[in-house]
Amino acid sequence: MSDKAMITLSNGVKMPQIGLGTWLSKPNEVKNAVTHALKSGYRHIDCAKVYGNQGEVADGIEASGVKREDIFITSKLWNTWHHPSKVAEGLEDTLKELKTTYLDLVSFLYIPTISSAKMLIVLLYPSSTRDHQYLIHFPVSFAYPESSTASGSDILTPLAEDGVHVKLDLQTSIVDTWKEMIKLLDSGKVKAIGVSNFEIEHLEAIIKATGVTPSANQIERHPLCLQTELVSYCNSKNIHVTAYSPLGNNLAGELKIVDYPEVKETAAKISKETGETVDPAQVLIAWGAVGGISVIPKSVTPSRIDSNFKQVKLSDEDFNKITALGKNKTARYNVPVTYEPKWNVNVFNTEAEKSCAHGVILGI
Strand partners, 243: 219, 295
- DSSP-derived letter for residue 18 is B
Q: Which residue among 42, 51, 110, 134 is the active-site one? A: 51
Residues annotated in the binding site for substrate, as ranges? 137
For 11, counting Cβ atoms within 10 Å of its Cβ (0-12 exposed, 13-18 middle, 19+ buried), the class is middle
In the chain, count H helices and then E strands: 11, 14
Residues annotated in the binding site, as ranges? 137
Gyration radius of the chain's alpha carbons: 19
25 closest CA partner among 298, 347, 310: 298
DSSP per position, 236-264: HTT-EEEEESTT----TTS--GGGSHHHH
Indicate the residue type of 322.
Answer: I
d(CA 211, CA 200): 15
d(CA 88, CA 180): 8
* Cα dihedral 44/45/48/49 (nearest 10): -120
Please tell me whether the peptide bond between 126 and the residue prior to it is cis, using omega within 30 degrees of 0: no
- DSSP-derived letter for residue 143 is P
- DSSP-derived letter for residue 8 is E
Beta strands in the chain (DSSP E): 6-8, 14-16, 20-21, 44-46, 72-75, 105-109, 121-124, 136-137, 193-196, 216-220, 240-244, 294-295, 345-346, 358-359
- Return the H-helix or E-strand segment holding 326: helix 316-328
Is 134 annotated in the active site? no
For 144, counting Cβ atoms within 10 Å of its Cβ (0-12 exposed, 13-18 middle, 19+ buried), the class is buried
Q: Which residues are catalytic?
A: 51
